[in-house]
Structures are given as C-alpha cells and as structure tokens.
Structure 1
Amino acid sequence: MRLMSELLSELWRRPWRSSLVWPIIITNILGSVYGFYWYRAQLAETPRYLWALVPDSPLSTTLFALALLLVLAGNRPGLITAVACATTIKYGLWAVGMITHYWALGGPVNFTEVMLWLSHWGMALEGFIFLRTVPVPGRALLGASLWMIFNDYMDYFRGLHPYLFSPLQENFALWLAAGLTIVAFIALVRAWVCNHLPVN
C-alpha cells in the first residue's frame, strides 16, 4: 500500500515524467484493445457509421493515449486532449457507478466485474490528474462538452448506450450519464480557468 501511495503521489505531482507517462500510454492502448473486444457483440449489431458512439470507454482511453502522444510530440493540447480527459473521467465514473449499482441490486461480485471496477477508477483518476496540468482552449472545452451531450442523446434517446447488466438499470444509467457530463464539464471549465491564470 505504501508503494501505491508513493506512486500516486508522484503521479499527482509529476504526471509527465517519462517513467510514468509511457506506462500509462501503453496501459491505455492495451485496455482499449480489450475494451473494443468487450463491445464486439454490440458493435456487430450496430451500423458501422454509428460505431464511434458505442464503445464509450475504450474510445476514451484510445483518445487519451493519442492525446498524451500528441503532447509529448510537441503539440499544444486541443480538442483531442479535452475530449480524452473529459470522457475518461465521465465513462470511468459511469462504469464504476453502474457496476456498483448492479452489485447493490444483488448481482454477483465476479472477478471480471471487480477488475472492470478497479480499471475504470483508474480511468477517471488519470483524466483528473492530466486535465489539471494542461491548458484547455475555450473552443476545445465547448467541443468536448457538445460531444458528451450528443453522445448522451444518442445513447439514451437512440438506444446506443452500452449493454447494461440489468434492465432495472435503464433510468439509473441515464441520470448517471447526465450527471457525469456535468461533472466532466466542470472539470474542463476548472482546467480552462486555472491553467490560463497569469503566473505572478
């Protein structure tokens, strides 16, 4: 536990340290591959032109890895970084909430769900950690917010949301997603304000 605490402390203070950022990039890529595999049945039943709206978590971790690579290559943070950070926060917490809700409904606590629960906590955490270090442009903030709202609309009013553990979770999933869109928006606004303040 002490080692984990020290690692998290170092990640919070110096997230762009190469010994930390590269393992995070690799972990996100590997997690994305598994995530797309996880969505294989739903993707097979969805028209290809809508595929980008289905695998919410693996798409966000793919964008997160891409955003880190772009910044490391010298590109200024922009829309991809804003979307990546906001959606890893949103869908990380959404999955944690949905799994916890499923357990509260009496669902079995299986190894797979426990690992998904832990990994999605990691998603949300990395989104918060890196978002606090990058200057989010105003247009990127707007674009990321509109993407999340559009995705919520397509998920819950056009039926593209991820398969749920139980039909009893429909309303909870909708309200959780809407609430987390607001949380992610606030995180974006905070990054936009704090990272643009003049240094005295």
Structure 2
Amino acid sequence: MITYILQEKRFLFCLLLINFFGTLYGYYWYEGQLAATPDIFLVFVPDSPTASLFFTIFLLFFLFGKNIPYIEALAIITLFKYGTWAVVMNVLTLIVEGSIGWQGYMLIASHAGMAIQGILYAPFYKIKLRHIAFAAVWTLHNDIIDYVFAMMPAYSSLNKYMNEIGYFTFWLSIISIFIAYWLTQRNKPLN
C-alpha cells in the first residue's frame, strides 16, 4: 500500500510542489547569512534547502521514470542529516530559551518530514557504492566548511555549544551515510 502511494503520480506531483516551495523558502531563510558568506562557501551554506533541492530534482526525474543516482545519494544522506539536525537544534533552542515560536515548530515539522521522505524513497533509488562515496565526501566536506570555517547556520542561543554541535554533526553525518548504505546496498554485491 505505502509503495503504491509513494509512486502515485498525483502524490508525487504534490510532494514535488511542497519540496520546490520549501526549497525556495529555505534559500530565502538563509538570505542574510548568504549575503555575508564568501563566494567560495556559498554552495555549502544553505544546508537544508540544498538537501531538499536534491530531493526535488530526484522527484522530477522519478515522475518520468528516470533515476539520477548521484543526486539520489546526496538526497538520502543530506535529507536525513539536515532534517534530523534541524529538529535537534530547534529542540535544544526550546530547552535553552524556553520557547521557539511558531516558526520553530514549523521548522521541526518540516525538517522531520525531510528526514522521513528521504528514507521512504530508499527502495526507489538506483544508488551504487560510488554514489554513496561521492555524497559522503560532499557531506563531510560540508561539515568542515560549517565548523572549521564557521559557516554553520546561525542559532544565536546555541553559539556557546558550537564545539559540541560540531562534534554531534560529524557523527550525524556518519550515521546518515551508514543509513544510506544500509538501505540501498545491504542486499547488493559490492559494486
């Protein structure tokens, strides 16, 4: 039943629109940070909207029965990572500040959805080990840009915890890469 729904054209089109507009909003949300970002880091700063962009591209191709494995690998890893990361950061902000407003709750719900949708579509990805390796390098490189070059998303109330957040983020990347491997490669011969 769930497999049927995930492949149903109207559902896919709605999911495509939600991700498209969510991606646009995400880039808008980063507008201030992007304006202050050196050009060399621009592609790595808007983490969540770029993850949803990868998934939006996947959905567009999937609607037409096509696969793009490098994008699929980037989507599953980054959707799970940044979806989970944003949920955790917003919950931590709630704990530290005592409130997060409606935007914080919206971010929790939308980012939880990001993490879940990337996982749900795992059976449809045509990912091989080389695609996961490429996405793993991208993801870990992004961690270096965020936490070595200080390009991470701004959560002012959490600034004093940046070392711990950076450490958590690194391990979340490793877990995300492992999940992508497990869901797409566990029953395949090495390729």
Q: TM-score, normalised by structure 1?
A: 0.87
Percent identity of equivalent pairs: 29
- State the distance in 2 between where 1:132 and 1:165 align: 38
Superposed CA deviations along residues 131-180 of structure 1, whole A, max 9, x for unmatched, are 23323111101001111110001110011111124213312321221121
Q: Tell me what 1:3 maps to.
A: none
Among residues 48, 66, 71, which one is paired with 1:75 in the alignment?
A: 66
Q: Which residue of 1 aligns with 2:183?
A: 191
CA RMSD of superposed structures (Å): 1.8
Q: Which residue of 2 aligns with 1:178?
A: 170
**Whole-angstrom distance in 2 between the partners of 1:195 and 1:132:** 11
Change (3 A) 1:24 1:169: farther
Kindly state the Cα deviation for residue 11 of structure 1 after the two structures are TM-superposed.
4.3
Distance 2:187 2:60 in 1: 20
| 1:50-61 correspondence to structure 2 within 5 Å | 50-61=41-52
Determine the structure 2 residue equivalent to 1:7: none
Could you tell me how far apart the structure 2 residues matched to 1:195 and 1:127 are? 19
Q: 2:6 aligns to what?
A: 15
Deviation string 1:70-101 (CA, Å, 9 cap, x unpaired) is 23333334111110111011000000000111
Q: Which residue of 2 aligns with 1:148?
A: 139
One-letter code aligned to 1:131? A
Within the alignment, does 1:106 sit opposite 2:97 as a pair?
yes
Please say which of residues 140-149 and 160-169 is displaced more in the overlay.
Answer: 160-169
Gaps of at least 5 residues in structure 2 are none
Structure 1 range deviating more: 19-28 or 36-45: 19-28
Match of 1:4? none
Q: How many residues align?
A: 188
Q: Moved runs in structure 1, 4+ residues, more than 3 A?
A: 10-14, 194-197
Kindly provide the CA deviation profile for residues 29-70 of structure 1, in whole angstroms up to 9, marking residues without a partner as x: 100111111000000001233211100000110111001212
Q: Secondary structure at the match of 1:132?
A: helix
Partners of 1:15 and 1:171 in 2: CA distance: 39
1:54 to 1:123, Cα distance in 2 relative to 1, 3 A: same
Structure 2 residue matching 1:147: 3-state secondary structure: helix
Secondary structure of the structure 1 residue equivalent to 2:72: helix
CA distance in 1, matches of 2:56, 2:187: 21
Q: 1:40 aligns with which of 31, 43, 56?
A: 31
- In structure 2, the partner of 1:132 is 123
The CA distance in 1 between the partners of 2:54 and 2:140, in whole Å, is 18
Q: Distance in 1 between matches of 2:39 and 2:12?
A: 33
Q: Distance in 1 between matches of 2:11 and 2:41?
A: 34
Partner of residue 25, structure 1: 16
CA distance in 1 between partners of 2:101 and 2:71 (Å): 34
TM-score between both structures, scaled by the size of structure 2: 0.91
| Structure 1: tracts of 5 or more residues without a match | 1-9
